[in-house]
Amino acid sequence: MFQEFYNHCKRNEYWQLKQNILLAISGGVDSMVLLELMQKAAEKDDLRVAVAHIDHRLRVESIDEAAYLKNYCEERSIPYYSREWDAPNKEKNTEARARKFRYDFFSEIMEQEDYQVLLTAHHSDDQAETVLMKLTRGTTLTNLVGIRAKRSFGIGKLIRPFLIFSKERLEQFAKQTGIVYFEDSSNQGNNYMRNRIRHQVVPVLKKENQQFLQHITNFSEQMELADELIQSVIEPKYDRWVKKTTEGWQIQLSELAKEKRSVQTFFLMTLFQRTLVPKNITISQLHIQQFLMLLNQPAPQRSMDIEQGWQIIKEYDVAYLKKRTAADDEKLFYLNENEQLFLSDNEWLGLECVGKQFELPDSVKNWQEFSLPISGEIPRPLKIRHRKNGDRIALTPDLTKRLNRIFIDQKTPNLIRERAWVILSAQENIIWVPKFANSYLSIPKETDKILYRLLYKIKE
């Protein structure tokens, strides 16, 4: 078995000569066989092999098992790293939390002690269980790859060299060579979904077809190749259409809307995998379907909620993936003559007296500028806020118009409408909406009544 294992690892370039390799060892039969084989491989390739062990403290026996493993490593001069999982409540979401704790520890040791490779003892039965679990729960094609044999991890890579072996094969080898290992009693119950699949489903499928595990392995490999092909198509489009913003991400829709549904679907899967999934946001097939409907609807502006406050907002040919924030309409500023203020990090406003030019802050001098001469008859202080429902602006003595209608006529996206500033007189009459409209009230009847200039600058 060693030669088959060694040839497989060398053929796939799982390690280089004299490399530092960390082994994730639980004490079970799989990992103890891995430890045995890797000691032989270390002799052949002059490897520095070390053991990392987590005592989850979920069973009384785990203390003795950790002590045995520590002593085993000391007798053979194998570096040994261990940690206890001391979470206060281990009954909720146990598997996921324990896994995160383990891999965080492995990554930490790799970085601190300079191990370029982490090996785990996942085998083909684990692969079958993982694929069946994902199919049962519902997943994307990308996730059906299952357990990948090799991927980036920590400062190096994570390798699963045992995916070519079944659990039965490892147990037989351990028995033949007298390897000491420990049975985890928690694996015998059916409290966890993985255990139920392991005990109740996989044996039936193995009995139905003796090549079941090999078929799962082949299926997973094909999924990995299919994913590589899909990403070769999607990645260039993703780089072209998606832009990171301070609030989230901006997605160009004009080209995406012209693509086949297959490209649209896998693009959205990639989008969510790279943006929200790392934030522990659960993305379902329903979210993909909703986004597709949003994309292909003629309505210029639509939105959809995801979870944890995240939402998609479609604005004509652009979509924004952002987290919903509290309405910003409570912001309120007042401005008198010769005063200036920053409305936001990239917006500035000043009320300048004619003949008394402002000394602009250096940071705003190169920002885009909009200005409006106003009459000295305008009651002050001016009031600055965001728009409210029902806001109207007087365009002429006989015509007022709703701000919302002005925005619609100019095809202004909702996000920009929400950020637009409304400048009012002390009597609550709107005199200016910078970049969009100004009231006739701001226009003096006589030129000599022009006493002020409103100056609005923005960093685009």
Strand order in the sheet with 430-433: 332-335, 382-386, 421-424, 430-433, 437-438
Residue 275 dihedral angles phi and psi, to the nearest 5°: -115, -65
Residue 29 marked ligand-binding: yes
Whole-angstrom distance, CA of residue 33 vs CA of residue 55:
19
Residue 58 dihedral angles phi and psi, to the nearest 5°: -95, -15
Residue 364 marked ligand-binding: no
> Residues 135, 137, 142, 146: is their CA dihedral positive or negative?
negative
Nearest to 242 by CA among 283, 280, 282, 270: 270
Residue 31 marked ligand-binding: yes
> Residues 215, 218, 223, 224: is their CA dihedral positive or negative?
positive
Residue 30 marked ligand-binding: yes
Q: How far is CA 78 from the centre of its chain?
A: 37
Nearest to 124 by CA among 53, 10, 7, 220: 220
Beta-ladder partners of 50: 22
Strands (E) located in 136-282: 150-153, 156-159, 242-244, 248-252
Which residues, in sequence order, are CB contacts of 114 under 8 Å at separation 6+?
Answer: 20, 155
Nearest to 122 by CA among 1, 28, 14, 224: 28
Which residues, in sequence order, are CB contacts of 117 under 8 Å at separation 6+?
Answer: 14, 15, 19, 20, 21, 22, 156, 157, 158, 159
Quick check: 76 and 39 in contact, CB under 8 A?
yes
Whole-angstrom distance, CA of residue 69 vs CA of residue 78:
10
Residue 166 marked ligand-binding: no
* DSSP per-residue codes, 21-44: EEEE--SSHHHHHHHHHHHHHHHH
Which residues, in sequence order, are CB contacts of 165 under 8 Å at separation 6+?
Answer: 1, 5, 123, 124
Strand order in the sheet with 150-153: 80-84, 48-55, 20-24, 117-119, 156-159, 150-153
Residue 442 marked ligand-binding: no
Q: What is the 3-state secondary structure (H, E, C) of 114-163?
A: CCCEEECCCCHHHHHHHHHHHHHHCCCCHHHHCCCCEEEECCEEEECHHH
Q: What is the dihedral of CA 382, 387, 389, 392, to 10 degrees?
A: 60
Annotation: binding site: 26-31
Annotation: binding site for ATP: 26-31
